Structures are given as C-alpha cells and as structure tokens.
C-alpha cells in the first residue's frame, strides 16, 4: 500500500499509515509516528482544557500517573480521529484502591462536584472487571461537563491496573486508551479505518452501535474471521499501536510495569 492509500484510511492519516508501513519506509514510519503523536497530544490538550483539567496537559497526565488512571471511551477514540465527531463525557478508569480516593480529591480540586454513583448496563460492561462508577460534574456558564470514574477490579491485586477493563468493551472500536505515557490502540488496522466489530447483542449494545454509526463509523458483528487479531493477544504484540508522548522533543521514558507484560486477552 502506498502512502496516498494509507492516508485515505482515516481522519488520523499518519496513524493509519503507521500500521501499514513496511521496512522500506522506515523514515516515513518515523515521521508518521511523530506527527500522529503530535496530533493526538494536541487534541488531548484541547479536550483536557475544555474539561477544566489544567492549562497544560502535563498537569492532568501527572495526576493520571499518580493515580494509575487511564482515559478511554469516546475521548480516546476522538484523539485517534480528530474532528470526526463530538466526544461525550470523559470516562476515566482507575482501580478500586487508595488511588481512587486520590483521584476523587484531584477532581474536586479542579472544581468538580461528586454526584451519585451510577449503575452499569450489564449488557455493555462485564461485572468481571468493571465495578462501580462515580460521576462528577463541573458547571462552566451554561455548559456542564461530566466525568465518569469507573472502578476496575484488577485481575492482579499485587500490581493493580485498570487496563483489563478495556479488554471487555462491547466493540474493538472502543478498545483504546490514553495513559500518562501515550496513546494505545488495540485494533489499529480496523479502528483507524473507521471500522469495528461488536461482540454481542442487546438493547443497550444496539444503542451504543447506533451512536457510533451516526458518528461515521462502520460496525459489524464479530464472527471470528480475519482482520481482528485472532487468538491470545498482549499489549506488546505487533498488532497494538503505541504512540508515546514526548518530553523535550524525545519520547518519554516509560518503565513497563510487570503486570502490563502479563496482561492477555482474546475476543469472545
């Protein structure tokens, strides 16, 4: 696939090109990765500012590091497709540990008010990983911003991580997250081409599917065939796209946690 064809795959062209780059295009791949990271970081910075989470993205990214928190949901997808659709609430995922209490204090310090806990649609989130969700609100003039904090029951209690919750989402299209160290897309070949697979049917699931079709994405039922990365996967295989954030012009040093090396998943 040539560079022009790769650029046509997505509104996030440099990331789409990354997935299809060959060894002969090493320089182009490096350039594409840098541009993709810059575009994603700038989009994230704008969203964090919109939600009142600091004048610089580094402020909230540091808070995410301290609390082992990731951003997922529509905002993670919007960062991969800048300008394609209007994102919804901010979905934060943390572990059911003292980290969650610190995250609550941080959100309150930014001016958010804690609302009631929200029950989870059982057909969208598996109770195996996702526990309760707490909702926060900030009023800015006539606008209301909402943040949902999902508490993930980590599969590794010694090294808790919220990432395991992402593996149980309804669709491959949603299996992306933003950590303090960068952007991670678990199924880039399809996600960056605006395509996804949904894994099970229900009334709540259909509402989710309809919403993302309206946002310009194509979704089909997963039937175990090509294009989705069959078999057991891990965060460090070739099928995962990782765009590390930079500091002083260089990718941030990232010390991989043992638990992330051990995380595995497969589609239903």
- pLDDT over 90 (residue 49): yes
Report how many domains make up the chain: 1
Report the half-sphere exposure of 181 (CA within 13 A, side-chain side). 11
Residues 185, 186, 189, 190: is their CA dihedral positive or negative?
negative
The pLDDT-based confidence of 10 (bands split at 50, 70, 90) is very low
- pLDDT over 70 (residue 46): yes
Q: What is the pLDDT of residue 95?
A: 84
Q: What is the pLDDT of residue 201?
A: 73
205 burial (CB, 10 Å; 0-12 / 13-18 / 19+) is middle
Q: Residue 85 corresponds to which tokens in the numbers above?
A: 């659709």
Q: Residue 7 corresponds to which tokens in the numbers above?
A: 């650029």
The pLDDT-based confidence of 235 (bands split at 50, 70, 90) is confident
Residue 95 dihedral angles phi and psi, to the nearest 5°: -95, 155
- pLDDT over 50 (residue 127): no
Domain that holds residue 151: 3-265
DSSP codes joined into one string, 86-130: ---SEEEEEESSHHHHHHHHHHHHTT-EEEEEE---TTTS-TTTE
Q: What is the pLDDT of residue 70?
A: 95
60-98: pLDDT as tens digits: 999 999 998 999 999 999 999 988 988 989 999 998 767
128-141: pLDDT as tens digits: 667 778 999 998 77
- Contact (Cβ atoms closer than 8 angstroms) between residue 188 and residue 15: yes
Q: Which residues pair with 189 in a beta bridge?
A: none
Q: What is the pTM of this model?
A: 0.83
3-state helix vs strand vs coil in the chain, percent to 5 = 40, 25, 40
- Of 4-13, 173-182, 216-225, the poorest mean pLDDT is in 4-13
203-214: pLDDT as tens digits: 677 888 899 999
């Amino acid at each position: 696939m040539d560079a022009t064809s790769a650029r046509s795959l997505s509104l996030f062209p440099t990331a789409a090109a990354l997935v299809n780059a060959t060894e002969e295009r090493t320089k182009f791949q490096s350039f594409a990765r840098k541009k993709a990271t810059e575009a994603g970081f700038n989009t994230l910075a704008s969203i964090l500012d919109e939600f009142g989470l600091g004048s610089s993205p580094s402020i909230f990214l540091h808070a995410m590091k301290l609390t082992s928190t990731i951003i997922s949901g529509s905002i993670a997808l919007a960062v991969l497709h800048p300008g394609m659709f209007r994102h919804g609430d901010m979905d934060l995922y943390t572990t059911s540990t003292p980290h969650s209490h610190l995250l609550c204090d941080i959100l309150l310090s930014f001016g958010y008010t804690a609302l009631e806990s929200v029950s989870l649609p059982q057909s969208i989130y598996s109770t195996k990983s996702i526990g309760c969700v707490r909702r926060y609100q900030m009023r800015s003039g006539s606008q209301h911003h909402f943040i949902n904090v999902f508490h993930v029951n980590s599969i590794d209690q010694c090294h808790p991580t919220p990432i395991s919750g992402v593996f149980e989402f309804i669709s491959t299209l949603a299996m992306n997250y933003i950590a303090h160290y960068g952007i991670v897309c678990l199924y880039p070949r399809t996600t960056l081409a605006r395509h996804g697979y949904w894994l099970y049917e229900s009334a709540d699931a259909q509402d989710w599917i309809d919403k993302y079709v309206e946002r310009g994405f194509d979704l089909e039922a997963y039937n175990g065939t090509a294009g989705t990365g069959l078999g057991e996967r891990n965060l460090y295989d070739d099928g995962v796209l990782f765009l590390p954030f930079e500091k002083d012009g260089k990718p941030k040093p990232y010390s991989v946690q043992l638990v992330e090396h051990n995380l595995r998943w497969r589609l239903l």
